[in-house]
Amino acid sequence: MEKATFGAGCFWGVEAAFRHVDGVADTVVGYLGGSTERPTYDDVCSDGTGHAEVVEVTFDPAKVSFAQLLDVFWQIHDPTTPGRQGPDVGSQYRSAIFTHSDEQEATARASLATAQASGRFSRLIVTEISPAATFWRAEDYHQRYLERRGMASCHI
């Protein structure tokens, strides 16, 4: 099993999208990319911690590749809007790929270049690509939030 970590707006909808991918064994929502230790949802929503709302995806690379997960990532959000996804505004909603290896970083950079060249996006992709640091698990009530409420997706 391997891990991949993505920020693509509100983590509830991002988690729901990845949970439906064959080969994904688990998802956990949390916070990554900031400077505050043990941030809470309220801390992150203040837009002062530097963290992004993210989904840590555990996947079986024999069933789904990191490149295929990146394809899902590009499809589920607008990577051209800095600090915004739909009605959600703030750096915590930024588009980000947090890599867990040099190979993931190279694959992510190549995938971004392909996505930009595809013509699908009329503006410059602003997705942050950086090494994964400390992942802070979000509060329990955020885990599988939409699934537990019988909702298939949110606005993303």
Task: Decide: residue 102, CB within 10 A, 0-12 exposed, 13-18 middle, 19+ buried.
Answer: exposed
Residue 101 resides in a domain: yes
**Cβ 132 vs Cβ 32: under 8 Å:** yes
Q: Is residue 133 part of a domain?
A: yes
156, part of any domain: no
* pLDDT tens sequence across 127-148: 999 999 999 999 888 787 666 7
On whether residue 29 sits in a domain, the answer given is yes
- Domain range holding 13? 2-148
What percent of the chain has pLDDT above 70?
92
Do 5 and 131 contact (CB within 8 A), yes or no?
no
Domain assignment of residue 71, yes or no: yes
Please state, rounded to an integer, the average pLDDT across all residues of the chain. 92
Q: Which pLDDT score, from 0 to 100, does residue 145 have?
A: 61
Classify residue 154: in a domain, yes or no.
no
Tally of domains in the chain: 1
Q: Which residue in the block uniquely carries the two structure tokens 């409420």?
A: 149
Average pLDDT over residues 7-16: 91
State the CB neighbour count (10 A cutoff) for residue 131. Answer: 11
**Does residue 41 sit within a domain?**
yes
Q: What is the DSSP string of 115-146?
A: HHHTSS-SS----EEEE----EEPPGGGTTHH
Instruction: Answer yes or no: is 60 within a domain.
Output: yes
The string of pLDDT tens digits covering residues 93-122 is: 999 999 999 999 999 999 999 999 999 999
What is the pLDDT averaged over residues 18-44? 96
Count other Cβ atoms within 10 Å, centred on residue 88. 17
Catalytic one of 8, 10, 17, 76: 10
CATH number at residue 21: 3.30.1060.10
- State the chain's maximal CA–CA distance in angstroms: 40
Average pLDDT estimate for 29-39: 95
Does the annotation count 10 as an active-site position?
Answer: yes
